[in-house]
Amino acid sequence: MTIDVKRWADRYVAQWNEPDPATRTALVRELWAPDGVQVLVDPPQAIREAAADLAFPVPPLEVRGHDALDARVARAYEMFVAPGEHVFEVAGEASLLLQNVVAIRWSMVSTRTREAVGGGLDILALDGDGRVRTDHQFIGVS
């Protein structure tokens, strides 16, 4: 499998910015394997504290499958992009770590100031068709 890493990273980030629900759903189905999974490796502090209060270890947060991934991408769009305050962008160059493993650094950028106000790193393992099988997302990684 040969992939154009820059093009792939641009398409991956584009799904998070897509305003049209039907197009966004089509992107999710195109980019993700049917049983693809996204794991938020380091959940937000409030979730870590709530788990600790219940004497549970910090749980990884994950969504699996097209419907759950579509809901996840839609919710991120609704929270961060739809209000017009932010947009997601590829930050730096995406890297091909192994034949089927891609690293994408991204930023959440203020539409007003064009400054990065958040960001992270996604490590994507692709299946034989070039679709995301697993996505380990690290938020806050520069």
With cut-offs at 50, 70 and 90, classify the pLDDT of residue 62.
very high
| Dihedral in degrees, nearest 10, Cα atoms 43, 65, 117, 11 | 150
Summarize the confidence of residues 90-108 as an average pLDDT. Answer: 95
Beta bridge partners of 108: 88, 118
With cut-offs at 50, 70 and 90, classify the pLDDT of residue 117.
very high
With cut-offs at 50, 70 and 90, classify the pLDDT of residue 141.
low
Residue 142, pLDDT above cutoff 60: no
pLDDT in tens, 22-51: 999 999 999 999 999 999 888 778 888 888
pLDDT of 98 reads 94
Beta bridge partners of 88: 108
pLDDT of 57 reads 83
Instruction: Write down the mean pLDDT value for the chain.
Output: 93
